[in-house]
């Protein structure tokens, strides 16, 4: 077996070159040859993967965080070829690694073991489009408060993991709501809104269980809609996301669907799989069982 290892050497804000070489060595000891392709700038993984498809690797492995996985997925699905997609492996090196959790991958060794065992899970993918822009996500797409927090956290990378906390505090102090109209499978709801997350998998930001009932292979996405909350109520509700109990708040709704159209006033930036890309209005459609990912069956 020969794989293409697409790796972010600065994933999680740290130097990862030593870890990447270690990954390659462990794979080699188990009879798996790998060619390493280091990313040099944001979006580079998309271009790398688009070139790799013509080489027909046995698998493509994303060594990095959710952003690296997002770029690998989009590099594969935006490719002009019509051949069978190679399976994708995930080796978590980033801060969040949210999607990997739904594959029972929680560590570097888990990611390596999943590839060695060659256990594959066929998963759903969501396609989103705005005007002429099209993208794909496997984890989730957010807008509103959650995206505003991510934008602030990106500016606070110097603070490491505390950057997200800074983002939450800053955006809560300046809390703003927006008007939204959502059509989910032909059913429309509208009103003032705090945030929306369209979830294909359960987790966001690492351990936050945004959509506790979501499954990556059930043919549905779970939409989490949060109506306006007071600052105190918002701060009190956010910690509940770690246990997936935030749905007990009357402002939070869960809606399951396969297609959605979302518009806001004013327009809001989108956050697909942790990457800031595009703005509302947006259309989303679930494509069932489109890709294969390595996973660890029976792993807690």
195 and 276 part of one domain: yes
pLDDT at residue 168, rounded to an integer:
85
For residue 36, is it within any domain? yes
Domain residue limits at 70: 2-118
DSSP 213-249: T--TTSS-EEEEEE----HHHHHHHGGGGGTT-GGGS
pLDDT at residue 299, rounded to an integer:
58
82 and 149 part of one domain: no
Please answer whether residues 114 and 89 qualify as being in contact, where contact means their C-beta atoms are separated by less than 8 angstroms.
yes
Low-confidence ranges of the chain (pLDDT < 50): none
Question: Which of 57, 91, 118 is the C-terminal boundary of a domain?
Answer: 118
Instruction: Supply 134's token pair.
Output: 């099209």
pLDDT tens digit sequence for 78-91: 875 556 899 999 99
Instruction: Supply 166's token pair.
Output: 């800074």
For residue 64, is it within any domain? yes
Please answer whether residues 228 and 192 qualify as being in contact, where contact means their C-beta atoms are separated by less than 8 angstroms.
yes
For residue 78, is it within any domain? yes
75 and 10 part of one domain: yes
pLDDT at residue 150, rounded to an integer:
85
What's the rounded Cα separation, in Å, for the pair 87 and 67?
Answer: 18
14 and 55 part of one domain: yes
220 and 277 part of one domain: yes
pLDDT at residue 164, rounded to an integer:
74
Ramachandran sector of residue 110 (left: φ over 0; alpha: ψ -120 to 50; beta: rest): alpha
Question: Which of 118, 153, 171 is the C-terminal boundary of a domain?
Answer: 118
For residue 242, give the 3-state DSSP assignment: helix
Please answer whether residues 61 and 91 qualify as being in contact, where contact means their C-beta atoms are separated by less than 8 angstroms.
yes
Indicate the pTM of the whole model.
0.92
What CATH code is carried by the domain that includes residue 242?
Answer: 2.60.200.40
45 and 161 part of one domain: no
What CATH code is carried by the domain that includes residue 36?
Answer: 3.40.50.10330
For residue 300, is it within any domain? no
For residue 128, is it within any domain? no
182 and 240 part of one domain: yes
pLDDT at residue 80, rounded to an integer:
57
24 and 157 part of one domain: no
pLDDT at residue 13, rounded to an integer:
65
pLDDT at residue 105, rounded to an integer:
96
89 and 156 part of one domain: no
Question: Which of 118, 152, 178 is the C-terminal boundary of a domain?
Answer: 118
For residue 123, is it within any domain? no
pLDDT at residue 10, rounded to an integer:
80
Number of domains in the chain: 2
Instruction: Please list the residues that pair with 128 across neighbouring strands.
Output: 135, 284
For residue 129, is it within any domain? no
67 and 107 part of one domain: yes
180 and 215 part of one domain: yes
For residue 61, is it within any domain? yes
144 and 273 part of one domain: yes
């Amino acid at each position: 077996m020969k794989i293409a290892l697409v790796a972010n050497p600065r994933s999680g804000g740290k130097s990862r070159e030593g870890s990447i070489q270690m990954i390659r060595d462990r794979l080699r000891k188990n009879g798996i040859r790998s060619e390493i392709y280091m990313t040099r700038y944001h979006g580079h993984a998309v271009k790398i993967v688009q070139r790799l498809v013509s080489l027909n690797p046995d698998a493509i492995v994303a060594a990095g965080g959710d952003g690296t996985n997002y770029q690998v997925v989009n590099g594969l699905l935006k490719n002009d070829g019509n051949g069978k997609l190679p399976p994708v492996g995930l080796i978590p090196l980033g801060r969040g690694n949210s999607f990997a959790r739904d594959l029972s991958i929680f560590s570097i060794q888990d990611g390596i073991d999943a590839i060695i065992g060659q256990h594959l899970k066929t998963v759903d993918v969501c396609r989103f489009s705005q005007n002429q822009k099209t993208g794909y996500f496997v984890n989730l797409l957010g807008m509103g408060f959650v995206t505003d927090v991510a934008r602030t956290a990106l500016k606070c990378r110097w603070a490491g993991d505390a950057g997200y906390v800074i983002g939450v505090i800053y955006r809560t102090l300046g809390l703003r709501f927006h008007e939204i109209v959502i059509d989910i499978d032909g059913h429309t709801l509208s009103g003032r809104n705090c945030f929306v997350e369209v979830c294909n998998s359960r987790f966001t930001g690492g351990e936050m269980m945004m959509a506790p009932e979501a499954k990556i292979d059930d043919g549905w996405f779970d939409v989490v809609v949060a109506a306006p909350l007071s600052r105190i109520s918002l701060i009190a509700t956010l910690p509940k996301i770690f246990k997936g109990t935030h749905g007990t708040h009357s402002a939070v709704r869960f809606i399951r669907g396969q297609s959605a159209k979302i518009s806001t006033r004013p327009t809001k930036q989108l956050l697909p799989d942790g990457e800031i890309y595009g703005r509302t209005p947006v259309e989303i459609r679930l494509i069932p069982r489109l890709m294969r990912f390595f996973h660890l069956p029976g792993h807690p």
